[in-house]
Structure 1
Amino acid sequence: MGRTEYYHDPDAPKANTLIPASNLLVVDADGAILLQRRRDTGQWALPGGAQDIGETAAQCAVRECLEETGIVAEITGFLGVYTNPHHIVAYTDGEIRQQYETTYIGRPVGGEPTINDEADGVRFVPPADLDRYDIHPSMRRQIGDYLAGTYPRLD
């Protein structure tokens, strides 16, 4: 399913859903941040996705990280809640979501970076190299909050 992201775009379509989602900002022992390159947008992002019925937001973050990157991670902290009504994601099936993400901080405990049907690139990126990557502004904000130590965020 294809998607188009709108960020502070006055021409964005009006949202018709609000789906809880979770991200996991995984940091290795050297301080590098785990990123995946999304096949649907081509941009680099934190692993994350929609929460399933029967799981907690934290369980969702860990599951999505494993599914999208091949990395088994454990949660070590909480970064924040990101609910920007000006971040809209339109899917080709007609669903138009307003952003609603809880983002956790974690560390890798197993697995290997692995590409899959959602990600065609997976790697740990040192903070000094982040500017070399096409990262969506909403993800940049979350990474920036982590690097600046300005968390937990509740907005």
Structure 2
Amino acid sequence: MGRTEYYNDPNAPKANTLIPASNMLVVDAQGAILLQRRRDTGQWALPGGAQDIGETAAQGAGAVREFLEETGIVAEITGFLGVYTNPNHIVAYADGEIRQQYENTYVGCPVVGVPTVNDEADGVRFIQPTDLDQYDIHPSMRQQIGDYLAGVCPHLG
């Protein structure tokens, strides 16, 4: 599905939906953060996705199900980073849906599995925080990662 992101763009189309999504910021024992390179935008991001009816935000969406689907890794939730919603971050899809960002971001650790590419991601890897500037990461993802690294939001772990 075609996707165009607008971030603080005054020419962005008006949102017509607000769909809860969940991301998971997973950190390994060496402090590296797992990111995926999205096939639709080419940018590196935290794995995540829209919550399905019948799922809780933590058990479904990006927190567990989407994380496994998008990375090949089973992860365990160890904390909650925060809710990120920005009316100036708009995602427009080819089918006419135009979403305002709304993401619950969980913190976790890997349990089992190896980073694996898939239909949604052509790159999946653990990246040391000191190397993040070498990657094209969307500003909304940088904010979430930055909050985690700065300890701005409460989390366990």
Same fold (TM over 0.5): yes
Deviation at 1:127, TM superposition (A): 0.1
The CA distance in 1 between the partners of 2:135 and 2:119, in whole Å, is 20
Residue of structure 2 in register with 1:68 after alignment: 70
Deviation at 1:152, TM superposition (A): 3.9
Question: TM-score scaled by structure 1?
Answer: 0.97
The CA distance in 2 between the partners of 1:86 and 1:99, in whole Å, is 8
Aligned length: 153
Consecutive unaligned residues in structure 2, runs of 5 or more: none
User: Which region of structure 1 is more displaced relative to structure 2, 127-136 or 53-62?
Assistant: 53-62
Residue of structure 1 in register with 2:143 after alignment: 141
Query: Partner letter of residue 128 of structure 2?
Result: P
Deviation at 1:2, TM superposition (A): 1.1
The CA distance in 2 between the partners of 1:80 and 1:152, in whole Å, is 8
Following superposition of structure 1 onto structure 2, how do residues 4-153 of structure 1 map, counting pairs within 5 Å? Answer: 4-59=4-59, 60=61, 61-152=63-154
Query: Partner letter of residue 13 of structure 2?
Result: P
Secondary structure, counterpart of 1:68 in structure 2: helix
Consecutive unaligned residues in structure 1, runs of 5 or more: none
The CA distance in 1 between the partners of 2:154 and 2:51, in whole Å, is 20
The CA distance in 2 between the partners of 1:138 and 1:151, in whole Å, is 15
Secondary structure, counterpart of 2:144 in structure 1: helix
Runs of 4+ in 1 over 2 A off after TM superposition: none
Question: TM-score scaled by structure 2?
Answer: 0.96
Secondary structure, counterpart of 1:12 in structure 2: coil
The CA distance in 2 between the partners of 1:152 and 1:38, in whole Å, is 28
What's the CA shift string for 1:120-151, capped at 9, x where partnerless? 00000000000000000000000000000000
